[in-house]
Amino acid sequence: MAERYIVIIAGGKGERFWPQSRAARPKQLLPIVGDSPLLTQTLERVMPIVPAANIYVITSAAQEKGVRAVCPGLPRDNIIAEPEGRDTAAAVGLAAAVIGARDPKGVFAILPADHVIHHGKKYQSDLNVAFAAAAAEPVMVTIGIAPTEPATGFGYVQRDQPWKTIRRKTVYNVKRFVEKPDLATAKKYLRSGTYFWNAGMFVWSVPVVETAIAQFAPELDAGLKSIRTALAKGRKLGPVMKKVYPSLQKISVDYALLEKSTNVVVLPSTFDWDDVGAWPAVARHYTADPAGNVGRGQRIVEQGRGNIVFSEGDHLVAVVGVDDLIVVHTPDATLVCPKNKAQEIKAAVKRVSALADGERYL
Amino acid sequence: MAERYIVIIAGGKGERFWPQSRAARPKQLLPIVGDSPLLTQTLERVMPIVPAANIYVITSAAQEKGVRAVCPGLPRDNIIAEPEGRDTAAAVGLAAAVIGARDPKGVFAILPADHVIHHGKKYQSDLNVAFAAAAAEPVMVTIGIAPTEPATGFGYVQRDQPWKTIRRKTVYNVKRFVEKPDLATAKKYLRSGTYFWNAGMFVWSVPVVETAIAQFAPELDAGLKSIRTALAKGRKLGPVMKKVYPSLQKISVDYALLEKSTNVVVLPSTFDWDDVGAWPAVARHYTADPAGNVGRGQRIVEQGRGNIVFSEGDHLVAVVGVDDLIVVHTPDATLVCPKNKAQEIKAAVKRVSALADGERYL
């Protein structure tokens, strides 16, 4: 009988959390929110519904060591490092190949490693509904997040008519996937009530994924073939990955499969969700002092409101007479940036890499 | 024949330069401007005109070790630590007692340790004029700084008619000393052209100082008597200081002597002068980048103007999208404060001292 699998995608670089995040220690490996790394929190949320032997993490070579360090409960081979990033369609195809080799009809969920979700039980319950849907019919189930604001940083998925009700939850047919909208369009989506944020959470079976790749991404399919063949012959994954992965077609799973497939359904999530895309989002998850300041570590804020102050070690950060500022201290680098300029942190990281010995800070 | 002496007062706590300045490492012991501590720079400016054996530094017990470390050229006994601070009149009286014991008619200059003066030659030349005046007549010579703005943080001295011309420089009688004015009054002073900033630089002889103390501060005079007596008997300064100094009258030299004396003259300075009272003043002494940012150490400013960024060690400070901010990083504490709120740094230091283990950062 086909089993259930979880594939956690832990590949983000997290430049927007510099200097706390680094090339080898990105957002998902940090306790940006909570006391353990976001990847660990993701693992802990899925452990109750899927055995550890069925949980995979796909990460990058640069982060492999860090990922292994925070996933001690997983079998060694279940942590897979891409020799280089080839976007999400390749990662999904790789997951299908690996799971398909041991369970040709296996059903698996693709889940991001770096989102903050406090409602673990609801998350598990929604995943179980999605697994049931994907096991019952050859559909691609996407878990949609009901938008709370007209965000322009996410893709959206529009629901159509109800498809099925599973455990009292309605799953809808999908009318269409849309890329990141402009603000006016995002406002329309929010008002309509039929659009959800595409949070990169999908549940489907190996055959459904492989059929879709063969149909809509034949170039990728051809590249994945050698991986499937090697695994079918009982060979190790590492060598064939190293050989063919870097040349796989680089394309997102949304664009390659979901926008083109007609068998996509959406389950509106019932859990809270935050992708904490940048420092300002972090503030939402901390208890503020009476002046609205949040943070962690040794810090004082004197005559200031709405600041985010993070300090590592015993280092004291004193913020005086300023509002809505982000101050992040790490042992070798400190960032100071207004909350409304957080999108410029990436530009600063570029400036750092251009310094004579800038690499040491990245 | 009476000789010339220099007494450098190195007692300031420099809380306004926290976290670079600390209780045991105040402003005068730091290279806030230039490559050596301000005290060292002061010493180097007076060394060419007075032999090291005639140069004294009066400091606090807390700073004695630090002062000795940056004054290796001075005789050990010429560095005098007050058991506790008793304001400037006591320090001047102590200096007169110490110098008077070896040279009863000695002429000495009182100079602050923590001012920034780039024109060393002009400073020496002005001091020589002041020494000549104080050696020729029983006057108190103050060196007045021509104001460049209506500063409310300094006391002022108003000149009267010319008193004497020495080496082509006019020395004026003093009409009056005034305490720190409000802004409207300071503007009047600036316009009048007859007011100078009182920078705490005085030149006078031992007899002039001792006569004035006896006349205008008899309580202080009585306290100083045991010090004079002990020194006259050839005893060491340390023990008697420890015994009587903490009970000396606590009063400023301006209030105790200068405001009351009628034999005060003022020499307008010809050198540049900056008391660099707080971080914003520091910026004036550094070369700015095209966006007006100044600083020292590993730093980048991305999309920001007019910032002051200081970093110690190899720590990188990245300031992004913000203007006119002070960021000071030290190994155990970092300050972030807008330039126009620099006066609040003292309040922050108080908050630090109230932390459970705050003392370690002070």
Mutate to test the interface with A, among B293, B302, B328 (most CBs of A within 10 A): B302
> Is beta strand A264-268 parallel, antiparallel or unpaired with respect to B4-10?
unpaired
pLDDT of res. B15: 84
B47 φ/ψ sector (left φ>0, alpha ψ -120 to 50, else beta): alpha
- Pairwise CA distance, residues B188 & B193, whole Å: 9
Quick check: B277 pLDDT over 90? Answer: no
pLDDT of res. B88: 96
pLDDT of res. A357: 86
Decide if B361 and A316 are in contact by the 8 Å CB cutoff: yes
pLDDT of res. A1: 63
The amino acid occupying position A144 is G
Nearest CA in chain A to B358: A316
Quick check: B215 pLDDT over 80? Answer: yes
Give the range among A118-127, A140-149, A350-359 with minimum mean pLDDT: A350-359
Confidence category of residue B143, pLDDT binned at 50, 70, 90: very high
Quick check: B345 pLDDT over 70? Answer: yes
Quick check: A14 pLDDT over 80? Answer: no
Quick check: B357 pLDDT over 90? Answer: no
Q: Cβ(A43)–Cβ(A112) under 8 Å?
A: no
Question: Both tokens of residue B245?
Answer: 């100094």
Confidence category of residue B32, pLDDT binned at 50, 70, 90: confident
pLDDT of res. A32: 87
What is the average pLDDT across A280-299?
Answer: 93
Q: What percent of chain A shows pLDDT beyond 90?
A: 88
- Pairwise CA distance, residues A203 & A131, whole Å: 6
ipTM of the complex: 0.85
- Pairwise CA distance, residues A8 & A59, whole Å: 9
* Nearest CB to B351 within list A298, A302, A331: A302
Give the range among A119-123, A346-350, B304-308 with minimum mean pLDDT: A346-350
Q: Kindly calculate the radius of gyration of chain B based on its CA atoms and give it in whole angstroms.
A: 21
Quick check: A16 pLDDT over 90? Answer: no
Decide if B300 and A335 are in contact by the 8 Å CB cutoff: no
A280 shares contact with chain B (CB less than 8 Å)? no
- Pairwise CA distance, residues B58 & B304, whole Å: 42
Mutate to test the interface with B, among A302, A317, A341, A346 (most CBs of B within 10 A): A302
Q: Cβ(B267)–Cβ(B280) under 8 Å?
A: no
- CB under 8 Å to B219, separation ≥6 — which residues? B249
pLDDT of res. A79: 97
- Pairwise CA distance, residues A129 & A147, whole Å: 21
> Is beta strand B140-145 parallel, antiparallel or unpaired with respect to B169-178?
unpaired
- CB under 8 Å to A285, separation ≥6 — which residues? A33, A34, A116, A274, A276
Q: What is the CATH number of domain B4-268?
A: 3.90.550.10
What is the average pLDDT across B127-151?
Answer: 97
What is the average pLDDT across B93-116?
Answer: 97
Q: Cβ(B74)–Cβ(B44) under 8 Å?
A: no
Quick check: B1 pLDDT over 70? Answer: no
Quick check: B14 pLDDT over 80? Answer: no
Q: What is the mean pLDDT of chain B?
A: 95
A320 shares contact with chain B (CB less than 8 Å)? yes
pLDDT of res. A137: 97
- Pairwise CA distance, residues A110 & A90, whole Å: 12
Mutate to test the interface with A, among B309, B310, B328, B334 (most CBs of A within 10 A): B334
Give, as one character, the DSSP assignment of residue B326: E
Backbone angles phi, psi at A351, to 5 degrees: -60, -40
- CB under 8 Å to A321, separation ≥6 — which residues? A302, A303, A304, B337, B338, B341, B344
* Nearest CB to A352 within list B300, B322, B351: B300
Decide if B315 and A337 are in contact by the 8 Å CB cutoff: no
Q: Cβ(A293)–Cβ(A30) under 8 Å?
A: no
- CB under 8 Å to A82, separation ≥6 — which residues? A11, A58, A59, A60, A61, A90, A91, A94, A241, A245
- Pairwise CA distance, residues B138 & B133, whole Å: 9
List chain A residues with CB under 8 Å of B315.
Answer: 331-334
List chain B residues with CB under 8 Å of A336.
Answer: 317-320, 322, 325, 327, 336
Q: Rounded to a whole number, what is the distance in Å from the CA of B291 to chain A's nearest CA?
A: 16
Quick check: A110 pLDDT over 70? Answer: yes
pTM over the 0.95 mark: no
Q: What percent of chain A shows pLDDT beyond 70?
A: 100
pLDDT of res. B159: 98
List chain A residues with CB under 8 Å of B318.
Answer: 19, 333-337, 348, 351-352
pLDDT digits (tens, 9 = 90+) for A152-165: 999 999 999 999 99
pLDDT of res. A228: 97
The amino acid occupying position A230 is A
* Nearest CB to A345 within list B320, B334, B361: B320
Decide if A348 and B315 are in contact by the 8 Å CB cutoff: no
B260 shares contact with chain A (CB less than 8 Å)? no
Report the half-sphere exposure of A296 (CA within 13 A, side-chain side).
17
List chain A residues with CB under 8 Å of B353.
Answer: none
- Pairwise CA distance, residues A58 & A15, whole Å: 19
Q: What percent of chain B shows pLDDT beyond 70?
A: 100
Quick check: B336 pLDDT over 80? Answer: yes
Query: Length of chain A in residues, anyone?
Result: 362
Q: How far is CA A20 from CA A182, A312, A328, B3, B309, in A?
A: 30, 9, 7, 61, 20
What is the average pLDDT across A131-149?
Answer: 97
Nearest CA in chain B to A354: B300
B120 shares contact with chain A (CB less than 8 Å)? no
pLDDT digits (tens, 9 = 90+) for B152-205: 999 999 999 999 999 999 999 999 999 999 999 999 999 999 999 999 999 999
What is the average pLDDT across A279-301?
Answer: 93
What is the average pLDDT across B332-338?
Answer: 97
A196, burial (CB in 10 Å: exposed 0-12, middle 13-18, buried 19+): buried
Query: What is the count of residue pairs from A and B with beta carbons less than 8 Å apart?
Result: 123
